[in-house]
Structure 1
């Protein structure tokens, strides 16, 4: 079948990283092709820390699927099953769940993302992830469960860290994703990614992911390629959010503004 490929799963199976671009403010679908042309294989569409609507997420997801890259959507914490259902039914290849603290949180995420028998997601017959092809419910559930319902669980708290082995052991939990900023704050070392406390936390999460054959991901460490490179080579990091629109816009505008201002200097 010529359905969109889940690039994160494909990269993980091939032992490669999945370069991912984060979105918080850009809403037009052209960003998907632009990101693909820049070498990114996925989009991290952030509904937790942005003003994006479900419609914005839908357009970005469909644009990404059309461009051949995979859209993953981070939802707000405790947003409710109905909200998550709309994100999934409108094109997300997977959902990023922030603040997963325990097995109960993980179970709730799996339940709404996966069709029976893994979960309780409500079935619909036509989806962007299937290029709106009409299929039997049995075939739809099987294909989506296997290819387009990636459950991405963010470990970004002390409680989540303490429960990470149990969380990783859950069937249907596809990816452990490190929220580096919040995790460093929770550990009492805000932004200190070189600290022994933070390093040990990353190693523990990575070990849990490796033991249970889960994908390992991270976001927030955009200015530390040295650490990301080590995590990739030594810890099996795969899902790497390398930058986001607000950061690149800020950097580009600052450089352009400085360059233009310099033209007026004697």
Structure 2
């Protein structure tokens, strides 16, 4: 069965670090090729903090798929009704913001993944399969294998629950929202504060314990980012 591979997922499973480019003010599909040329592994298409809408996200995602750069979309909220539409439109991963506990993480999985992992509704004509029809059971299994369900931890409560969140079947990545976390801790923008460092360590430990992947968002200082990658 021909399904577009999720390059970011494959590299994570191989133990590699992946880097993404945020898409927040650009709605043209050409951004996919530009990101690939710059050496990124995935696009972080942001509907939460930008004017990019679902239609633009789908156009960018469909353009990214044949290029081999994974389109990931951050939805506006953890109860977003657009998750299924964005996945049907070409996204290979959904980033669910402000997930604070295992119950919310499990809800994210249900929205993102087909049965038996989730409850996503099936649509047969998807760009992931070059719009070819395939039997539903095989297509759903193949789609689940390529999808990344990414939950964002952005509060002290989420950090305290990192282990139980990481234990949720179907969650693939725990992504730390560094800026909102620093706001919640009362130290806005102080991303080298010991409290932030401790939160990073807790999430990384939880991911290692449960075979999940840890991610960092909001860090733009190359030296700081490199230090955390190499830690």
> In the alignment, what sits opposite 2:217?
219
- Match status 1:142 vs 2:133: no
Q: Which moved more, 1:171-180 or 1:12-21?
A: 12-21
Q: Compute the TM-score of the two structures, normalised by the length of structure 2.
A: 0.96
CA deviation after TM superposition for structure 1 residue 129, in Å: 1.4
CA RMSD of aligned residues (A): 1.2
Aligned to 1:133: 132
Runs of 4+ in 1 over 3 A off after TM superposition: none
1:228 aligns to what? Answer: 225
Structure 1, residues 53-78: CA drift from partner, whole Å, max 9, x if none? 21101101011112221000000114
In structure 1, the residue matched to 2:174 is 176
Contact map agreement 1:123 1:141 (CA 8 A) in 2:
yes
Alpha-carbon distance in 2 for matches of 1:41, 1:201: 25
Q: What is the SS of the residue equivalent to 2:13?
A: helix
Q: Unpaired runs of 5+ in structure 1?
A: 235-266
User: How far is 1:226 from its partner?
Assistant: 2.1
Does 2:205 align with 1:207?
yes
Q: 1:21 deviation in Å?
A: 0.5
Q: Distance in 2 between matches of 1:227 and 1:196?
A: 14
Question: SS where residue 177 of structure 1 aligns?
Answer: strand
Higher relative contact order (CA 8 A, sep 6+): 1
What does 1:1-266 correspond to in 2, within 5 Å?
A: 1-80=1-80, 82-147=81-146, 149-223=147-221, 225-234=222-231
Cα pair distance change 1:78/1:17, threshold 3 Å: closer
Q: Distance in 1 between matches of 2:189 and 2:174?
A: 20
Return the alpha-carbon distance in structure 2 between the equivalents of residues 49 and 209 of structure 1: 26
In structure 2, distance between residues paired with 1:208 and 1:41: 24
Q: In the alignment, is the contact (CA less than 8 A) between 1:175 and 1:217 conserved in 2?
A: yes
CA-to-partner distance for each residue in 1:190-211, whole Å, 9 max, x for gaps? 1111211111111001100111
Aligned-pair distance for 1:2? Answer: 4.5
Task: Determine helix, strand or coil for the equivalent of 1:17.
Answer: coil
Cα distance between partner residues in 1 of 2:2 and 2:132:
10
CA contact (8 A) 1:168 1:176 kept: yes
1:245 counterpart residue number: none
Rg comparison, structure with higher value: 1
